[in-house]
Amino acid sequence: MAQSKKKDLFQDKKAAAESNYSAKDIEVLEGLEPVRLRPGMYIGGTDDRALHHLFAEVIDNSMDEAVAGHASRIEVELDADGFLSVMDNGRGIPIGPHPKFPKKSALEVIMTELHSGGKFSSDAYETSGGLHGVGVSVVNALSDFLEVEVARNKELHLMKFERGKPIGKIKNLGTINNRRGTKVRFHPDAEIFGPKAAFRAAKLFTMARAKAYLQPGVEIRWKCAPEKLKMTPDIPETAVFHFPGGLSDYLKETLAGKAQITSDIFSGRSKKDTGHGRVEWAITWSPEGYGEADSFVRSYCNTVPTPGGGTHEAGLRAAITKGLRAYADIAGMGKKTSHVTPDDVMFGAGALVSVFIKSPEFQGQTKDRLSNSEAARLVENAVRDPFDHYLASSPKDANLLLEWAIERADERIKRRKARDVKRKSATKKLRLPGKLADCSRKGSEDTEIFIVEGDSAGGSAKQARSRETQAILPLKGKILNVESATMAKIQANAEISDLCTALGIGLGKKFELDDLRYERVVIMTDADVDGAHIAALLITFFYRYTPGLIEAGQLYMAMPPLYKLTQGNKTIYAIDDAHRAELMETEFTGKGKVEVGRFKGLGEMNPAQLKVTTMNPATRTLARITIDNEDAMTTESLVETLMGKKSELRYEYIQEHAQFVDVSGV
């Protein structure tokens, strides 16, 4: 969107705020604007992955028609000019007047209003993947051109859009006899995705094929212009995907002839629909691994991939682990399997699980993890009995699988012992930053590293710590703001490379939680504006380059006290104003004045005070940093707004939130 236009929008909103437009007008103003202003909020970014999310949104709507039994064929076509078409032979998007916007057709509303494809509000669909994302109106907003054809009641209708705005009215192109359904043809907007952005044939091909595995009844036809296949000659110009064997076929394709531990794949689908949804699964084990990975688990909800895993995967793991343990007990191997964990059982597994449930909830930074707890029960209950039968009916396979899991457990324990020794010896070899005061404990269990602001605080922290389990890394001033820095700049930054060396970790894809040299990473900065800024810079760094550390719940903030309260020979500490008020009420008798001292910074505290208030696990409080999975898109956007380059977003954020700042207490 042109810069000037963006300012206009702000001016309009500001003007609106000042000249009290009614909310209705602002509502009308917005329409799809928020989508173009912050695409990251809706499709997780504007990179290649986000671009292909547009295709997912469109085909998911066709898949919903197929899963609901109204469509049997979907056609996907990538043209030489970069336009992508998806067509189904379903009922066709309704084109009558929309109940809420009588002047507009249902089609126009669904294409131009956010979240208007609301399939849950109607009983048109039992389950829907389409609303897992954000709906086709988002695709419309982010396309410089989009046209939709609806063949319904033997009439063909056409409507065109540019960047989400209708170009003319819906057109009736007359009678059509041999066709029904919906076709969407669109081109991603270079203003959003950049001039070089283009759909990749290989990715579209793989995504379309996966959909066919997930809905055995549907046939998906692929067509691609030869110009789009230059980079990937192994992708054909045309193909037909139709897999009656469902996930079992999918898994066979993935295995591509790999050796298996058991004689065959264990697969199935839930029998009766208990009203809680239905499940399909396929699992086998291979000693060859899957490329880089030891195991291969792919899960889906209403045909939508859930790369972040979730409760359905947990249900599968539970059923397999409990089933194998139960078999071991019956076979008199219970003792030998007591140390076997679900990770050991799933090591080498190639597993697919696909659930169909009514109201899926997704979590994770890109909303790609299923969080419905009923999905775990649904899958475990569906898989457990058939798995018990599978094991009982082929004891040879069952024993092979059991031995496999026991070997994995033994190996894991050996590896952990070796790693602990390596860690300690590596510390000697590893060029650790000189300023790191490391802890003496061998293993990482229950050890922690305090990242401390400034040398003076670092000094008293080194005296206050427990040498056996607590390491101190003093930082000089503010670290680089990674939100607006290139990877090259980040890798060249001395403070950040010292931090990574001390933690023993790599960045981004190189990050392995197992490499972490401590169990907890604690940010310990002054409780003032500078300290807060340094903490924000560090948290931004960890969020962007080692999110796994936060998701594992291993990043913390120390909570140094703001106040020291003394009455006679009683001294206690308060971490903030509210805590001080509470302690004044509950901890002191009426007799004698209570001295209130305020700590300006960590350096002001003597080691004994720092230890008891902030570092000693027995007496301190730590705040664990978490990503708000409920609405992680907000986290994504908030980090971008507060730490990113687009100052106008910060301006708007401060404007919107300024009124909540309490200036009285300054």
For residue 378, the minimal CB distance to ligand 28F (Å) is 25
Write down the catalytic residue from 75, 147, 526, 640. Answer: 526
Q: Which residues contact 66 (CB under 8 A, 6 or more apart)?
A: 72, 74, 88, 90, 215, 217, 218
Count of positions on this chain that bind ligand 28F (CB under 6 A)? 20
The rounded distance, in Å, linking the Cα atoms of 555 and 301 is 31
The rounded distance, in Å, linking the Cα atoms of 560 and 599 is 9
Residue closer to ligand 28F, measured from CB, 119 or 317: 119
- List alpha helices for 155-218, DSSP H: 190-193, 201-214
Query: What mask, x for binding ligand 28F by CB under 6 A, covers residues 158 to 197?
Result: ------------------------xxx-------------
Look up residue 297 and give its two tokens. 């688990």
Look up residue 270 and give its two tokens. 């839930």
Which run of H or of E encompasses 279? strand 278-285
Look up residue 54 and give its two tokens. 């547009």
CA angle 286, 290, 292 (to 5 degrees): 135
Residue closer to ligand 28F, measured from CB, 129 or 561: 129
Look up residue 205 and give its two tokens. 């091909």
Stretch that binds ligand 28F, among 39-47, 112-120, 290-298, 376-384 (CB under 6 A): 112-120
At residue 261, the 3 state secondary structure works out as coil
Residue 58 as a binder of ligand 28F (CB under 6 A): the answer is yes
Q: Which of 122, 238, 486, 659 binds ligand 28F (CB under 6 A)?
A: 122
Write down the catalytic residue from 453, 483, 498, 636. Answer: 453
- Strands of 121-248, DSSP E: 143-152, 155-162, 165-166, 171-175, 181-188, 219-224, 238-241
Nearest-10 crossing angle of helices 3-18, 647-658: 10
Residue 215 as a binder of ligand 28F (CB under 6 A): the answer is no
For residue 356, the minimal CB distance to ligand 28F (Å) is 17
Residue 117 as a binder of ligand 28F (CB under 6 A): the answer is yes
Residue closer to ligand 28F, measured from CB, 87 or 283: 87
Write down the catalytic residue from 512, 528, 628, 656. Answer: 528
For residue 176, the minimal CB distance to ligand 28F (Å) is 16
Residue 366 as a binder of ligand 28F (CB under 6 A): the answer is no
Near ligand 28F in 65-104, by CB under 6 A:
65, 86-88, 90-91, 93-94
Write down the catalytic residue from 294, 530, 551, 648. Answer: 530
Residue 118 as a binder of ligand 28F (CB under 6 A): the answer is yes
Q: 335 with 393: CB under 8 angstroms?
A: no
The rounded distance, in Å, linking the Cα atoms of 137 and 638 is 23
Residue closer to ligand 28F, measured from CB, 67 or 471: 67
Residue whose tokens read 């793989």: 206
Q: Is 455 a catalytic residue?
A: no
For residue 241, the minimal CB distance to ligand 28F (Å) is 16
For residue 146, the minimal CB distance to ligand 28F (Å) is 11
For residue 62, the minimal CB distance to ligand 28F (Å) is 4
Look up residue 581 and give its two tokens. 């008020």
At residue 133, the 3 state secondary structure works out as coil
Q: Which residues contact 663 (CB under 8 A, 6 or more apart)?
A: none
Residue closer to ligand 28F, measured from CB, 79 or 388: 79
Q: Is 453 a catalytic residue?
A: yes
Residue whose tokens read 């300024």: 658
For residue 280, the minimal CB distance to ligand 28F (Å) is 23
Stretch that binds ligand 28F, among 58-66, 304-312, 418-426, 498-506 (CB under 6 A): 58-66
For residue 192, the minimal CB distance to ligand 28F (Å) is 20
Stretch that binds ligand 28F, among 44-52, 115-123, 215-223, 401-409 (CB under 6 A): 115-123
- List alpha helices for 126-189, DSSP H: 136-141
Q: Residue 435's closest CA among 417, 453, 448, 415?
A: 453
Residues in the site for ligand 28F, rule: CB under 6 A?
58, 61-62, 65, 86-88, 90-91, 93-94, 117-119, 122, 124, 136, 182-184
Give the residue numbers annotated as catalytic, written as ranges.
453, 526, 528, 530
